[in-house]
Amino acid sequence: MRKITSIRGYFPYILALFLNAFTDLGHKIIIQNTVFKIYDEQTQMILTAIVNALILLPFIMLFTPSGFLADKFPKHKVMQYTAFFSVVITLMITATYYLGWFQAAFALTFLMAMQSAIYSPAKYGYIKELVGEKHISSANAAVQAATTIAILSGIIVYSALFESNLSATYSDESEILRQIAPLGWLLVLGALIELYSVSRLPNKMAAPVKKRFEFKRYKNGSYLRKNLKTITRKPMILYSIVMLAIFWSLSQVILSIFGAYAKSELGIDNALVVQGVMALSAIGIISGSILAAYLSRHYIHTGLVPMGALFIALSLGLFLGAEDIKVIALIFLIFGIGFGMVIVPLNAYIQKVSPRTHLGTILAGNNFIQNILMIASLGLTTLFAYYGLSAYTLFIMLFVVAVATVVYLLRKELRMFLWLVLELAFKLRYKIVYKGLDAIPQEGALLFLGNHISWIDWVLMQFPLERRMHFMMERSIYYWPMLHWLWVLGNAIPMSSKASKDAFKKARELIAAKETVTLFPEGTISHTGELGKFYRGFELVAGSYDGHIVAFYIDGMYGSNLSRSKTHYTSRSLWFRRVVTITFAPPIPLQSTADEVRQVIKNLKDTNGTK
């Protein structure tokens, strides 16, 4: 498989995204730190919320044009033009610093956000074009890591330079801006390097798109209605967008109120300390993104979403009882880990299932819905601050929202969440190597047949496969009162040696419905570790339906505590993981006989088994 880092344009693309976030954040940090130095709790919360709203509004206003541009023109060209305008805007911002025009600098935040709003659908849509679906989770994790590192370094660099350039005497915003004015040239430099990076990106548009923008349709809302319909056509895309909007809204409110909380409740008035504590969430996002990419290396694992939401809710709950700044820093780290685990799979899923012709529009719609909800959240924050609610009270409200979201996600994604918990637990004990995954068909009826070595063969097989398997298990175990719901959720089919007819009938119905079924033709767990006799019951399941058999061989589980080996190899330390290899053969016809399937599995054993 081709490495993602060998793809032409990959490194310039990542560098461009890093600089885009680093430069945009730099101006925002300068404005926020100026507000932090001059104003007290309520006014500070209101002005900080307004700054964030100015950044978000263009993503709503330019929903239709930004999506249109990303769909009609080559995305790398859209990025080049917007990067050029970033250079112009940063020069204007630098001038306002030197002149001490705080209101103008404040307003230019809006202009910089307009450039970002047009840039955003193109840069995220370019991921799928650049790396393809195979690497889409890894690329999203890299993008998120690069962006987060940019945010982290931007917070530290600009806050540190802000504090070091600021003298002890200043009376208003204008004096602060004049003192830190040289920082504007750092913004300009970042924009120039970004422009150079995007100029090196290859064209990935297969053919020109014939679209014409009609201002009349934009003005009367016709485009808006059409584009919103495009977004809502696939419920899972809408679900992903709404979930992203909720979590981004939570983060926006936290970032808006923490400065005021630190100043009023903790007595901290150093902007670098406040920004540095919040920056730890960026380290968490990087860690969570890397973990999400690893767990989604075979497919986009939606179980990561409720797990990440649990981390977020946990961090907000811990925050309510924390008073020490070091503990709060750790809480921000936990929050970031959860946030990274949430946004990588949701973003990757939107990009994967969106049609190429509408990808820009859908990504712009993602920004549109996210920013409407974020602005609404910031509006409520401003309203609550105006009426005197403390930052601590707002944190309680955020915790309630986070818990409600977790409950919803667990109900929706419970099956995938439990599979993820199982996978994480089993990886502590087993190092599982999978071979032949690329040959497994992604659609149609599949009958998985292989050797039976342990009680958990069916669990280990499922981890790299996106389609959920149906498997047979002993009826007496299936109806255990405490675990019956779990077997139902795991797609188990109850059977017994005395009454197997119903189980095979159910398996046949699933194959007819083009589902995935796993059977072990030996009928029992091996006592010797060798291939036993293959029974022909699965031939009744196959019938005359269309589909494939995927034979597999499991190596490395014999001798474990979960096998039927007379001698269990337990002398190894628990710190060492057992290596298990599962090899899948290329698909063969669904009507293959028991002898033919056994021969395929024997060949896998001879080729890949332990010598």
- The mean pLDDT value for 298-305 works out to 92
Residues 6+ apart with CB under 8 A from 218: 64, 65, 224
pLDDT at 55: 80
For residue 557, give the amino acid letter.
M
pTM of the predicted model over 0.85? no
Q: Are 536 and 445 in contact (CB under 8 A)?
A: no
**Contact (CB, 8 A) for 72 and 357:** no
The yes-or-no verdict on residue 509 having pLDDT over 80 is yes
Q: What pLDDT score was predicted for residue 576?
A: 73
Task: Identify the sign of the CA torsion 361, 364, 368, 373.
Answer: positive
Output the pLDDT for position 1. Answer: 42
Residues sharing a CB contact under 8 Å with residue 493, sequence separation 6 or more, in sequence order: 470, 471, 472, 473, 503, 506, 507
| pLDDT tens digits, 221-265 | 777 777 778 888 888 888 998 898 888 888 878 877 777 777 777
- Mean pLDDT calculated for residue range 290-301: 89
How sure is the predictor about 41, in pLDDT bands with cuts at 50, 70 and 90? Answer: low
Beta bridge partners of residue 588, listed in sequence order: 549
Cβ neighbours for 160, distance < 8 A, ≥ 6 positions apart = 272
Mode of pairing for the β-strands spanning 548-555 and 516-519: unpaired
pLDDT at 153 (0 to 100): 82
Please state, in angstroms and rounded to a whole number, the distance separating the CA atoms of residues 72 and 212: 9
Q: How confident is the model at residue 583 (pLDDT cuts 50, 70, 90)?
A: very high
In this predicted structure, the answer to whether residue 611 has a pLDDT above a threshold of 50 is no
Percent of the chain with pLDDT over 90: 24
pLDDT for residue 196 is more than 90? yes
Grade residue 98 by pLDDT with cuts at 50, 70 and 90: very high
Predicted confidence at residue 71, as pLDDT, reads: 83
**Mean per-residue pLDDT for 464-483?**
83
pLDDT in tens, 399-442: 999 999 999 999 999 999 999 999 999 888 889 999 998 889 88
Give burial (CB, 10 Å; 0-12/13-18/19+) of 229.
exposed
pLDDT for 3-20, tens place per residue? 777 888 889 999 999 998
Q: Rounded distance, CA 396 to CA 160, Å?
A: 31
Long-range contacts of 226-234 (CB under 8 A, 24+ apart): 227/63, 227/64, 227/67, 227/361, 227/364, 227/365, 228/365, 230/358, 230/361, 230/362, 230/365, 231/361, 231/362, 231/365, 231/366, 231/369, 234/353
| Cα dihedral value 559, 606, 534, 596, nearest 10 | 160
Alpha helices in 428-500 (DSSP H): 457-462, 475-478, 484-489
Give me the residues paired with residue 492 across strands.
Answer: 471
Query: Both ends of the chain: CA-CA distance in Å?
Result: 27
d(Cα 564, Cα 456) in Å, to the nearest integer?
Answer: 12
Using alpha carbons only, give the angle 206, 204, 208 rounded to the nearest 5 degrees. Answer: 40
Alpha-carbon distance of 506 to 403, in angstroms, equals 39
Distance, CA of 484 to CA of 489 (rounded, Å): 9
**Residue 584 φ then ψ, to 5°:** -105, 135
Q: How many other CB atoms are there within 10 angstroms of residue 167's CB atom?
A: 8
Strand partners, 495: 474
Spatial distance between the Cα atoms of 583 and 461, rounded to a whole number of angstroms: 10
Which pLDDT score, from 0 to 100, does residue 206 have?
65
Q: Is 288 exposed, middle or buried (0-12, 13-18, 19+ CB in 10 A)?
A: buried
pLDDT of residue 403: 95
Q: Which one-letter DSSP state was computed for residue 553?
A: E
CA 55, 56, 57, 62: dihedral to nearest 10 degrees?
100
Whether 441 and 587 have beta carbons less than 8 Å apart is answered as yes
Tokens of 495: 């059977």
Average pLDDT, the chain: 84
Q: Is the pLDDT of residue 574 over 70?
A: no
Maximum mean pLDDT: which of 97-101, 360-364, 494-498: 97-101
Would you call 449 helix, strand, or coil by DSSP? strand
Contacts of 29 (CB under 8 A, 6+ apart): 154, 155, 158, 159, 162, 275
Q: How far apart are CA 297 and CA 372, in angstroms?
A: 32
Distance CA 570, CA 562 (A): 11
Please write the tens of the pLDDT for every residue from 375-399: 788 777 777 777 777 777 888 888 9
Q: How confident is the model at residue 372 (pLDDT cuts 50, 70, 90)?
A: confident
5: left (phi over 0), alpha (psi -120 to 50) or beta: alpha
* pLDDT score recorded for residue 2: 53
Helices (H), 354-390: 359-386
Does the pLDDT at position 506 exceed 70?
yes
Name the maximum alpha-carbon separation found in the chain: 89
- For each of the domains in the chain, give its residue range(s) and CATH number, in order of start: 8-203+212-427 (1.20.1250.20), 430-608 (3.40.1130.10)
Rounded mean pLDDT, 50-69: 81
Confidence of residue 610 (pLDDT cuts 50, 70, 90): low
